[in-house]
């Protein structure tokens, strides 16, 4: 498989889980992976959740360039061809996705929405921190797969198996 491996993380609004996954994979991907994120139906004024940006910053992960966007931008001519598309919320997993050029591998990694956490500011921030660590744990397993195990079919099998990790 070519490098970098393009990975698209999908969620409904593209403000928390998919943004976290994009930033983390770009941080730990060592040039082998290039992460992107998008939402199936981001709001018109959608922006990354400030708590998502805060936990990324606290973890030493760069946040510049992170923006909320529709998945439609990745179906346009000239968009990068995805090798792997991972849904990170149950809503996006159940939706009809656009046609992805190149027939990428797909997987679903469900995470609770930290944006729905209630409580004090510290408790809400902790929900984002827990989500960040859960996503990072799976992504570390993904980035450590040897090159010979990352062809399209193997990538899909491994990505789907990581949903149980």
SS3 string of the chain? CCCCEEEEEEECCCCCHHHHHHHHHHHHCCCCEEEEEEECCCCCCCCCCHHHHHHHHHCCCCCCCCCCCEHHHHCCCCCCCCCEEEECCHHHHCCCCCCCCCCCEEEECCCCCHHHCCCCHHHHHHHHHHHHHHHHHHHHHHHCCCHHHCCHHHHHHHHHHHCCC
pLDDT digit string, tens, across residues 140-159: 999 998 877 777 667 778 88
pLDDT band (50, 70, 90) for residue 34: very high
Domains of the chain as residue ranges with CATH: 5-156 (3.40.50.2300)
Write down the pLDDT at residue 118. Answer: 95
Write down the pLDDT at residue 97. Answer: 60
pLDDT digit string, tens, across residues 35-80: 999 998 887 788 999 999 999 999 999 999 999 999 989 888 888 9
pTM: 0.89
What does the buried/exposed string (b/e) look like for 128-144 if buried means 16 or more CB atoms within 10 Å of the residue's CB? bbebbebbbebbeebbe
Please determine, for residue 110, whether its predicted confidence score (pLDDT) is greater than 70. Answer: yes
Write down the pLDDT at residue 8. Answer: 95
Please determine, for residue 90, whether its predicted confidence score (pLDDT) is greater than 70. Answer: no
The backbone torsions φ and ψ at residue 158, rounded to the nearest 5 degrees and listed phi first, read: -70, -40
């Amino acid at each position: 498989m070519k490098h970098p491996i393009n990975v698209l993380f999908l969620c409904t609004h593209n403000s928390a889980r998919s943004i976290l996954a994009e930033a983390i994979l770009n941080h730990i991907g060592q040039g082998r992976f290039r992460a992107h994120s998008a939402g199936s139906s981001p709001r018109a004024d959608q922006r990354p959740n400030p708590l998502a940006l805060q936990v990324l910053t606290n973890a030493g992960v760069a946040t510049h360039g992170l923006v909320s966007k529709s998945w439609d931008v990745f179906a346009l001519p000239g968009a990068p061809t995805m090798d792997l598309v991972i849904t990170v919320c149950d809503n996006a997993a159940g939706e009809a996705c656009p046609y992805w050029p190149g027939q990428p591998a797909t997987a679903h990694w469900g995470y609770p929405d930290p944006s729905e956490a209630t409580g004090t500011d510290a408790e809400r921030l902790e929900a984002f921190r827990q989500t960040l660590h859960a996503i990072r744990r799976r992504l570390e397993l993904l980035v450590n797969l040897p090159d010979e195990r990352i062809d399209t079919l193997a990538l899909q099998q491994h990505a789907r198996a990581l949903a149980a990790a």
